[in-house]
Each structure stands twice: as C-alpha cells, then as structure tokens.
C-alpha cells in the first residue's frame, strides 16, 4: 500500500482526487499540506487524514509519506516538485507540469539525478473512452486519419480558482488549463506528435491577462490536421471526433468522468456501431498505476518527460498568439506519446 501526501489540498483534491483514492486498490492519502492551516485541519478531519502540514517541504519529509501528489497552483509546481524530489519522494505532478518548458526540464533533470520517479497527472490517459478511440484507430477502423477535433470548455467566469485569470500563477488561460488535456489526448490516441501549432485567442473583461477562449490548429507528423477548442466561457463540453478516409469515430463529452459516454463509429454516412463506456475509475487508475510503478510492477504511462513535451507544445501555442503565425514544435528524443 503506497501512502500519498497531497501538496496543495484544494478544490481539485476535493472534487476529483479523494473520490479517486476512495476507489483505488493499492494506495491511500495519509497527509496533506495547505498554507491555510484552518482549512487544512478541516479537510484532514473530513477525510480522516492523519498528518497535516503547512508546506510541501514538511509534507515531503514525513516518514509516513511514500509519494507526493502536487496539486498547488501551476506557478508553484517547480518549487514543490523539487522539494519532494529533494526528500527522495516519488512525485506525481498535476498538469500542466509547469508554466514553461524550462521549468519542466528542471524537474525532469532533478528526478533523474535523484533516481526518483516523476509523473504528470494527464488523467485522460487512464480513461476508458480514450483507450477505445486509440484501439479502434490503431486497428484501422476509420482508415488513415485526416482530421481530429477535441474540445474542452466550462463556465469559469467566477471560478473558485481565481488564480486561473492570473498569467503569473496559471501560466495561461484555458489553453494551459484544459487545452493541455486535449493536446495530450490527441497525442495518445493518434500515437503521433504535432510538428506545428497555430493559435488564435480572445480575452474579455473578466479574463485578466489570459485568454478566455482559443482555437489551436495542430499539424501532426503523419498528416493529421487537428483542432483544439477551449474556453472558460462556454458551457461544459468535451466532444471528440476523429475523421478518417474510411470512417468517423466520435463521442459527446468523450472525456467526462461523471456519467457514461456513448462512442459512435460511422462508415459511409451511417452509424455502423456504438458502445457505452465509463471513465469513473480514471482517477483511481491513475494513482494505482503510479503506486504500481513505485513498487516496480509496471511502467507509469505518463512520465515527467511527457509533461515536458506537452509544455513545449503549449509554449509554441503561446508563441503563436504573440507572433500571429504558425510556430514549430520541438521534439526531444526522450519524449514518448505512448
């Protein structure tokens, strides 16, 4: 049983992580840290978490903690990951892994020097829906992929994570927050890498110094053209569609973890097959997989190098917003899409 400490125990821990740990089979939460000690003690009491700390350093030094899950605001990830690695604790860091690629590089290199496992919490890689898309495309069900479209929007104008509208803390708006999910899901499903990205975005009076909505165009190495649409102003949506020269795979709310999803396979303009899957175990699978990797029983499918490569793509997207042109995406040799 791997014992986790959650650094930065906040809304995400309450809504997603703790329900996931409740369903996990080989790990549990034994510690948390939060700067507001009153709220920290309240959360610990609610979830029967025995150890409460005010910093990631203190949490990481706790002998009862086997691994650290970093869920602090994005700009804090570098400090908190390095603090946990310094204590020789395996680290699972929330996405996006940093606010720029250089931060991610520093994390990966520190983990290598310490000989400690570093992973990024790209939870869509643990969803049944994305696995089924990946399997069907690999099996040639829709032939050669031509187009791909992934969306992620939610009404975030008055979101509890107010720091999402502060570039210095968030690193960006919905491109960084949920666009990274869509980008990573496409890399995983297509088993391919984007070579260029073009971005267009819009801000509004509530979005501070980040975007409120954006469209990314991704050119993949094997020819697939993809679009990623993200927004913190539209209603909750996570549709996914992959168009091939012999068929189409699609699903409404494909990445949702709260209710069953129907996947459709279209051929010749007609519905050929459909199946219903559930992603309700995604967060449990993620932490159980990380625990298994710590124990040496499997390889964690979302290593720190993956988070680094995703950040390289995000950096290219933000460069495109500034330059108003297509920007190349660098691929380093240790990056893996699958």
Q: What is the pLDDT of residues 280-330, one digit of tens each?
A: 999 999 999 999 999 999 999 999 999 999 999 999 999 999 999 999 998
- Whole-number pLDDT of residue 239: 98
Tokens of residue 132, six digits: 């089924």
- Whole-number pLDDT of residue 338: 45
Domain with 15, as residue range(s), is 2-123+285-302
Number of domains in the chain: 2
Q: What is the mean pLDDT of residues 74-102?
A: 98
Q: Is the pLDDT assigned to residue 13 strictly greater than 60?
A: yes
> What's 210's domain CATH number?
3.30.360.10
Instruction: Please indicate, yes or no, whether residues 176 and 86 belong to a single structural domain of this protein.
Output: no
pTM value > 0.75 = yes
Instruction: Please indicate, yes or no, whether residues 130 and 115 belong to a single structural domain of this protein.
Output: no
Instruction: Please indicate, yes or no, whether residues 251 and 315 belong to a single structural domain of this protein.
Output: yes
Instruction: Please indicate, yes or no, whether residues 56 and 119 belong to a single structural domain of this protein.
Output: yes
Please tell me which residue, 90 or 157, carries the higher pLDDT value: 90
> What are the two backbone dihedrals, phi and then psi, of residue 173, each rounded to the nearest 5 degrees?
-90, -135
Instruction: Please indicate, yes or no, whether residues 316 and 291 belong to a single structural domain of this protein.
Output: no
> Distance between terminal CA atoms of the chain?
27
Residues 6+ apart with CB under 8 A from 28: 1, 2, 3, 4, 21
For all residues of the chain together, what is the average pLDDT? 95
Q: Is the pLDDT assigned to residue 119 strictly greater than 60?
A: yes
Q: Is the pLDDT assigned to residue 332 strictly greater than 90?
A: no
> What are the two backbone dihedrals, phi and then psi, of residue 202, each rounded to the nearest 5 degrees?
-135, 140
Instruction: Please indicate, yes or no, whether residues 85 and 140 belong to a single structural domain of this protein.
Output: no
Do the domain assignments include residue 56?
Answer: yes
Instruction: Please indicate, yes or no, whether residues 55 and 87 belong to a single structural domain of this protein.
Output: yes
Do the domain assignments include residue 337?
Answer: no
Angle at 302 between CA 137 and CA 66, to 5 degrees: 150
Instruction: Please indicate, yes or no, whether residues 291 and 318 belong to a single structural domain of this protein.
Output: no
Angle at 193 between CA 287 and CA 119, to 5 degrees: 20
Q: What is the mean pLDDT of residues 215-235?
A: 97
- Whole-number pLDDT of residue 335: 42
pLDDT tens-digit series, residues 15-28: 999 999 999 999 99
């Amino acid at each position: 049983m791997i014992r986790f400490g959650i650094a930065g125990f906040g809304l995400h821990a309450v809504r997603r992580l703790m329900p996931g740990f409740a369903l996990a089979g080989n790990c549990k939460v034994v510690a948390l840290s939060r700067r507001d000690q009153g709220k920290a003690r309240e959360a610990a009491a609610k979830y029967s978490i025995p150890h409460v700390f005010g910093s990631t350093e203190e949490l990481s030094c706790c002998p009862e903690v086997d691994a650290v899950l970093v869920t602090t605001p994005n700009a804090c990830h570098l400090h908190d990951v390095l603090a946990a690695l310094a204590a020789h604790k395996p680290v699972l860091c929330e996405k996006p892994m940093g606010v720029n690629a250089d931060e991610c590089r520093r994390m990966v290199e520190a983990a290598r020097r310490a000989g400690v496992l570093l992973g990024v919490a790209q939870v869509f890689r643990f969803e049944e829906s994305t696995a089924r898309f990946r399997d069907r495309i690999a099996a040639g069900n829709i032939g050669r992929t031509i187009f791909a479209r992934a969306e992620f929007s939610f009404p975030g104008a008055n979101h509890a994570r107010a720091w999402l509208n502060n570039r210095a803390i968030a690193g960006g708006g919905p491109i960084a927050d949920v666009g990274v999910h869509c980008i990573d899901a496409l890399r995983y499903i297509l088993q391919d890498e984007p070579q260029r990205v073009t971005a267009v975005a819009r801000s509004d009076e509530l979005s501070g110094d980040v975007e409120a909505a954006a469209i990314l165009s991704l050119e993949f190495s094997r020819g697939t053209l993809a679009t990623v649409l993200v927004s913190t102003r539209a209603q909750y949506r996570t549709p996914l569609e992959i168009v091939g020269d012999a068929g189409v795979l699609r699903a409404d709310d494909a990445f949702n973890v709260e209710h069953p999803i129907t996947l459709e396979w279209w051929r010749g303009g007609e519905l050929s097959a459909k199946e219903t899957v559930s992603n309700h175990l995604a967060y449990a699978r993620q932490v159980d997989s990380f625990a298994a990797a710590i124990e040496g029983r499997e390889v964690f499918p979302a290593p720190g190098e993956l988070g680094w490569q995703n950040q390289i793509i995000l950096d290219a997207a933000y460069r495109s917003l500034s330059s108003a042109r297509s920007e190349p995406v660098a691929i380093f040799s240790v990056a893996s899409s699958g």
